[in-house]
Amino acid sequence: MLNRTYRDQACSIARALEIVGERWTLLILRDTYRGIHRFDDLQASLGITRGVLTQRLSWLVDEGLLERRPYQTNPERFEYLPTTKGRALSPVLMHLLLWGDRYYPSPGGPPQIVEHNECGGRITPQLTCDQCGQQLRPSDISIRPRTKPARSRRAAARRADVA
């Protein structure tokens, strides 16, 4: 069994887990990729306590994954933006999303849809577009909540017509 720290492990995965192996870290990065950058917005999105969020944001800034940038002076407030090092983890999160959709699916399909901004295609496990074949970068995609299946909307419309 590994300890909570992995300094003695001669393994890049173990060293990377020192930085990103805590659940909130990946969820904070996920939200910053989605454009949620302000403390209060991150807290609301994640349902995380202020203390834990403060600690995790400080860690991510200290490790160079996020940049802390002021957006207001009175009172002083900051936003947190992914750095180049932080954005480099985006493919890892995309693979986790695809893996979770495949092996731990939600009833009714994926809870989120990852779409190519240019053509509306979906992301593949190779991080390419399934429609045009383009290699997708984080800036090339949008992630949106899945809407109810069309069948459910039609059924609801039929029920409303009968009533």
Cα–Cα distances in Å, from 160 out to 61, 153, 155? Answer: 52, 11, 9
Looking at every residue in the chain, the average pLDDT score rounds to 86
**Whether the predicted pLDDT of 162 surpasses 60:** no
Binned at pLDDT 50, 70 and 90, residue 7 comes out as: low
Q: What is the pTM of this model?
A: 0.79
Domains of the chain from N-terminus onward = 12-86 (1.10.10.10), 89-154 (no CATH)
**Whether the predicted pLDDT of 54 surpasses 50:** yes
Q: How many CB atoms lie within 10 A of CB 60?
A: 25
